[in-house]
Amino acid sequence: MAVKNQKEEKLTEILSLNSKQKRVIGRVPKIGIRPVIDGRRKGVREALESQTMEMAKTAAAFISENLYYTNGKPVECVIADSCIGGVTEAAMAAQKFEREGVAVSLTVTPCWCYGSETMDMHPWYPKAIWGFNGSERPGAVYLAATKAAHDQKGLPVFSIYGSEVQDAGDTTIPNDVQKKILEFVKAGLALAEIRGKSYLAIGSVSMGIVGSMIQEDFFEDYLGMRCEMVDMTELIRRIDEEIYDTEEFDKAMAWVKEKCVEGEDINPPDRQQSRKKKDENWETVVKMTLIIRDLMIGNQKLNEIGFEEEALGHNAIVSGFQGQRQWTDHFPNGDFSEAILNSSFDWNGIREPFIVATENDTLNGVCMLLGHQLTNTAPIFGDIRTYWSPDSVERVTGHRLKGKSSKGIIHFLNSGSASLDGTGRQKIDGQSVIKPWWEITPGEAENCLSATRWCPANLEYFRGGGYSSQFLTEGEMPVTMTRINLIKGLGPVLQIAEGYTVDLPEEVHDILNRRTDPIWPTTWFVPNITGQGAFRDVYTVMNNWGSNHGVISYGHVGDSFITLASMLRIPVSMHNVPEERIFRPSAWAAFGTHDHESADFRACKNFGPLNGKRC
């Protein structure tokens, strides 16, 4: 009873926090559960009503107990009012789902039913069918018949079928079925959450980086999102005219002075900025942080000072800040703003991360967004900076790499939006983790801040100054690195590399880090090597990476990205996820069962982007 009360208190706390956390316009997507039944009356249907509806209730309870929205609330399920034995009841369920805000559908059945009469015909809901594996009634036969109908009608469906036979009265969900339900629902919710929201580009192209060149067709056709653009001069206007919450600014500055410790200034003494200039820069970067957030989601406080239009924001679930060079040649850089917004805490306490891409790299921003949706944790943005072979490390440091590092390491490093969650100072049983924001303790937030130094920016790069976060990721954490690239004539492709963050001896890290930009946050990353293809060795992983940027998400979640990519019709060009963990719609098997990578490309091309024409 005490444990239950603690959970209820925690949930109440989350709900209280989130009453103030509504950020973007749109209904919270719900999961629609469709109990489908053999419609024949006078004995058949009547014998199955209880079992079928119980399946739906069990599935709904399981989902709500195990999955959470990014705002910390349990995922909501909506069950059809009755079992679905034919087209009329299917239409009644569809009507209820539309009214209740359902965006993902899971059909459940223990028996044979009339496939095309009971199937979900919604044009863009992600769909799955769980067919009960029992010998008394042929649920598997319905599953097979109905997935054939889905495939023929061009409405891909995920097939869920347990590997072991259950008795008719068994109301448990087998482990393999549980995994597939959670994988499907997580990915479907991610798709639904981003639809209709905005990517906000603050500025334009940074230093010729092609990812900064926002491609509206990609966002609209594949993600169902819209693109908003604001010139960086808008920040100057809002700073000069004080279009921000001045009370919150004072609160933020007090927090910064207490919590944000300045680090080393690597600029030559005769070029270092004065103390007065550095203090002015602190005020500017804090104002930038407030303004970027307000541009994304609005701020009703601005209504109170006469700026009704500005108070609305851009309904942005993700944004990017160009910075270099038009801004940073004169003004402080965006590193502090990006790092703090991407973290799970600031002067207002522990809260859901905002997603802001450095250098307005829209494609990295999408991977940050998708990773956050799938894991509920803060992503880490970085450059795929350097591959260090064991021989190179030994030559430079005298140290031979060991353990997970023994085959080589990748230096994951960038000046900007690496979230402070990436310090590895959040813990479970003494092991480094990155937690969903609602599980982070105040002490862990303090530890992340204490592990970070804010170094005056390198004036060779950032003439206007500013502050770059400096930390070293601690601990051996399971992580997944991702990147979307756009290929002319092909469209978007996704790259995935599961692996681990690793620790190096302090003196080894210091030697390697000092050879590059030592005042930026470092994560030492080792991908899992398979000995084949792009994952033959660590060097080959980096050599095949499609861009200078990547995103690290917590956990081995490559399978979740693959499931989501299949829903979005984005083929995966490179991954190291074991085959037994991959879950795609059943139709993908029709495009080949031997070479799954090639089949994925063919299937995605055939079904096309979910929300419109091909890029």
Which residue, of 170, 194, 218, is where some domain finishes? 194
- For the stretch 120-178, pLDDT in tens is 999 999 999 999 888 777 778 899 999 999 999 999 999 999 999 988 888 899 999 99
Is the domain of 472 the same as that of 354?
Answer: yes
Which residue has better confidence, 397 or 166?
Answer: 397
Residue 375 CA neighbour count, 13 Å, CB half: 26
User: 10 Å Cβ neighbour count for 53?
Assistant: 18
- Nearest-5° angle of CA 367, CA 373, CA 376? 115
Interatomic CA distance for residues 81 and 23, integer angstroms: 32
Within 8 A by CB and 6+ apart from 418, the residues are 339, 342, 380, 381, 382, 469, 471, 521, 523
Task: Let me know whether 250 and 120 are in one domain.
Answer: no
Examine the domain organization and report whether 94 and 229 are in the same domain: no
Query: Is 71 among the domain residues?
Result: yes
Q: Are 412 and 385 in contact (CB under 8 A)?
A: yes
- What is the percent of the chain with per-residue pLDDT over 70, rounded to a whole number? 96
Residue 135: count of CB within 10 angstroms of its CB: 11
**In this structure, are 257 and 130 located in the same domain?**
no
> pLDDT band at residue 21, thresholds of 50, 70 and 90?
low
Q: Which DSSP string do the residues of 221-249 spell out, in sequence order? A: III--EEEEE-THHHHHHHHTT-S-HHHH
In a domain, 17, yes or no: no
Average pLDDT, rounded, for the chain? 94
| pLDDT exceeds 50 at position 356 | yes
- pLDDT, position 17: 54
How confident is the model at residue 613, as a pLDDT?
60
Task: Give the model confidence (pLDDT) of 167-211 as tens digits.
Answer: 888 889 999 999 999 999 999 999 999 999 999 999 998 998 998
Count of the separate structural domains present in the chain: 2
518 and 407 assigned to the same domain = yes
Q: What is residue 397's predicted lDDT score, i.e. its pLDDT?
A: 98
Q: Among candidates 116, 107, 115, 64, which has minimal Cα distance to 83?
A: 107
- Sign of the C-alpha dihedral computed for residues 370, 375, 376 and 382 taken in this order: negative
Distance CA 466, CA 458 (A): 9
Are 140 and 278 part of one and the same domain? no
**Residue 406 and residue 272 in one domain:** yes
The pLDDT of residue 13: 61
Q: Count of CB atoms within 10 A of residue 272's CB?
A: 15
Catalytic residue among 193, 245, 359, 559: 359
Measured CA to CA, the distance from residue 137 to residue 430 in angstroms comes to 49
SS3 for 162-203 is: CCCCECCCCCCCCHHHHHHHHHHHHHHHHHHHHCCCEEEEEC
Let me know: does 464 contact 328? Beta carbons within 8 Å: yes
Does the residue 468 lie in any domain? Answer: yes
- On whether residue 612 sits in a domain, the answer given is no
The average pLDDT across 32-55 equals 93
Strands (DSSP E) found in 312-435: 316-321, 345-346, 349-350, 356-358, 380-388, 409-413, 426-428, 431-433
Query: Does 20 fall in a domain?
Result: no
pLDDT, residue 171, reads 87
Buried b (16+ CB within 10 A) or exposed e, 155-188: bbbbbbbbeeebeeeeeebbeebbebbebbbbbb
The residue out of 163, 194, 225 marking a domain boundary is: 194
Residue 8 belongs to some domain of the structure: no
CATH number at residue 73: 3.40.50.1070
User: How much is the pLDDT for 10?
Assistant: 54
291/270 Cα distance (integer angstroms): 33
d(CA 121, CA 106) in angstroms, rounded, equals 12
Contact 566, 159 (CB under 8 A): no
pLDDT at residue 14, rounded to an integer: 52
Task: Please report whether residue 5 resides in a domain.
Answer: no
Give the model's pLDDT for residue 563. Answer: 98
Q: In which band, very low, low, confident or very high, does the pLDDT at 529 lie, cut at 50, 70 and 90?
A: very high
163 & 205 share domain: no
pLDDT score, position 314:
97
Per the structure, the complete domain to which residue 538 belongs is given by 198-607
Considering the candidates 183, 383, 444, 559, report the single residue annotated as catalytic. Answer: 383
The answer to whether the beta carbons of residues 413 and 550 sit under 8 Å apart is no
User: Which of 391, 377, 358 minimizes the C-alpha distance to 420?
Assistant: 377
Active site residue 359: yes
| Mean pLDDT along residues 103-131 | 94
Quote the percentage of the chain above a pLDDT of 90: 88
9 or 67, higher pLDDT: 67
Task: Give the type of residue at 549.
Answer: H
Sign of CA dihedral 277, 283, 289, 291: negative
Q: How many helices (H) and strands (E) does the chain have?
A: 19, 23
**pLDDT value, residue 4:** 47
Please tell me the distance from the alpha carbon of residue 274 to that of residue 272, in angstroms, as a whole number.
7
Asked whether the bond before 325 is cis by omega within 30 degrees of 0, the reply is yes
> What is the band of 22 on the pLDDT scale with cuts at 50, 70, 90?
confident
Write the pLDDT tens digit of every residue in 409-453.
999 998 877 999 999 999 999 999 999 999 999 999 999 999 999
Greatest Cα pair distance in the chain: 93
Average pLDDT value for residue range 213-224: 96
Does a structural domain hold residue 13? no
Over residues 304-313, mean pLDDT: 96
Question: Could you confirm whether 262 is annotated as catalytic?
Answer: no
**Which domain-ending residue is among 166, 194, 222?**
194
Nearest CA among 520, 502, 607 for reference residue 338: 520
**First and final CA of the chain: distance in angstroms?**
55
Residue 3's pLDDT is 46
Domain containing 221 — which CATH number?
3.20.14.10
Using pLDDT thresholds of 50, 70 and 90, give the confidence band for residue 6: low
- Mean pLDDT across 83-87: 96
Does one domain contain both 148 and 220?
A: no
Contact 21, 351 (CB under 8 A): yes
Q: How far is CA 541 from CA 404, 498, 526, in A?
A: 15, 11, 10
Q: Which two tokens stand for residue 233?
A: 């001069």
- 559-611: per-residue pLDDT in tens? 999 999 999 999 999 999 999 999 999 999 999 999 999 999 999 999 999 88
Say yes or no: 330 and 353 in one domain.
yes
**Are 274 and 388 members of one domain?**
yes
Tell whether 209 and 302 lie within a shared domain: yes
pLDDT for the residue numbered 1: 47
